[in-house]
């Protein structure tokens, strides 16, 4: 089955999914095997690789190294078309729906086609919605777009539904890496309740309690990056989950 089919199946069965986000700018290649050993002790089901920038062009080597040390599905979470590599299993084909910058609505997507043609990457159309997470995050800076305020629940919901209506297969509510405020549970609830497609939530989730909050509010898949980078005991804390 495809990665997407598996996500759908999990949603139907109420099984929650957790992705670790590996940023090629932040990880040391030689450290990847050890890092993945820790990943494997936890309830993590997916590996996302990507970042707003990939300053040293390490994406491909990072993905290849990860691939050698895991059987978990690897999805590219690209900050730009330059991060696309065939070494992964699939790609979140993102459109930054919260912004009004054509570069991240369609231009990057067009530029990525040459690389995508002829690969076996599973392409998953994803509506990406940037929400104010309390600090100016890299996505905001790089995409030159403003996040939607958490007070603007209706705009967030309508943006998510506009994504679904235009054929996205996933919606990703993103507070931004390193956010000080995660997407509020009321917002996750409202979007999850109205959406038919699976919902991803990420940004600023640093504790088991926050993870539970996101899952209970209706997130089907949660993404965590910073908390694992800063505290690897967190993998051990997440070795089981009710
Ligand atoms: C960023 O949602 C992810 O795209 C993860 O954010 O690094 O804050 O966990 P954190």
Ligand 1 neighbourhood includes 78 CB (under 6 angstroms) = no
Residue 23 has pLDDT above 80, yes or no: yes
Contact 179 CB / ligand 1 (< 6 Å): yes
Q: Which atom of ligand 1 is nearest to the CA of 224?
A: 9
Q: What is the pLDDT of residues 150-190, one digit of tens each?
A: 999 999 999 999 999 999 999 999 999 999 999 999 999 99
User: Is residue 215 over pLDDT 80?
Assistant: yes
Helix/strand/coil (H/E/C) assignment for every residue in 64-96: HHHHHCCCCCEEECCCCHHHCCCCCCEEEEEEE
Looking at residue 131, the DSSP 8-state letter turns out to be: B
Pocket of ligand 1 contains residue 19 by CB under 6 Å: no
183 lines ligand 1 (CB under 6 A): no
The Å distance, Cα 203 to ligand 1 centre, comes to 4
pLDDT over 90 (residue 55): no
Q: How many helices (H) and strands (E) does the chain have?
A: 11, 8
Q: What is the pLDDT of residue 25?
A: 93
Could you give the percent of the chain with pLDDT greater than 70? 100
Q: What is the per-residue pLDDT for 207? A: 98
Average the pLDDT over 41-50 and give the result. 98
**What is the pLDDT, as a whole number, of residue 241?**
83
- State the virtual CA torsion across 127, 132, 134, 135 in degrees, nearest 10: 70
- Which CATH number, 3.20.20.450, 3.20.20.390, 3.40.50.300, 2.40.30.10, labels domain 3-237? 3.20.20.390
From the CB of 53, is ligand 1 less than 6 Å away? Answer: no
pLDDT in the model for residue 142: 95
Q: pLDDT tens-digit profile of 82-117?
A: 999 999 999 999 999 999 999 999 999 999 999 999
Read off the DSSP letter of residue 48: E
Q: How confident is the model at residue 141 (pLDDT cuts 50, 70, 90)?
A: very high
């Amino acid at each position: 089955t495809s990665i997407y089919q598996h996500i759908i199946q999990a949603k139907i069965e109420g099984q929650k999914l957790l992705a670790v986000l590996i940023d090629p700018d932040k990880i040391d290649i030689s450290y990847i095997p050890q890092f993945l050993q820790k990943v494997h002790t936890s309830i993590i089901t997916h590996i996302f690789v990507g970042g707003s920038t990939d300053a040293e062009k390490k994406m491909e080597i990072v993905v290849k190294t990860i691939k050698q040390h895991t059987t978990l599905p690897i999805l590219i979470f690209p900050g730009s078309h330059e991060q696309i590599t065939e070494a992964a299993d699939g790609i979140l084909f993102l459109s930054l729906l919260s912004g009004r910058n054509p570069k991240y609505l369609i231009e990057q997507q067009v530029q990525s086609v040459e690389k995508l043609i002829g690969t076996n990457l599973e392409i998953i159309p994803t509506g990406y919605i940037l929400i104010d997470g309390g600090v100016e995050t890299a996505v905001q800076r790089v995409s030159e777009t403003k996040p939607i305020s958490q007070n603007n629940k209706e705009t967030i919901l309508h943006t998510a539904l506009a994504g679904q209506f235009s054929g996205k297969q996933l919606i990703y509510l993103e507070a931004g890496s390193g956010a000080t405020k995660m997407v509020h549970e009321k917002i996750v609830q409202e979007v999850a309740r109205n959406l038919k497609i699976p919902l991803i939530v990420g940004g600023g989730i640093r504790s088991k309690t926050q993870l539970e909050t996101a899952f209970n509010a209706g997130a089907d898949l949660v993404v965590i990056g910073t908390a694992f980078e800063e505290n690897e005991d967190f993998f051990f804390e997440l070795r089981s989950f009710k």
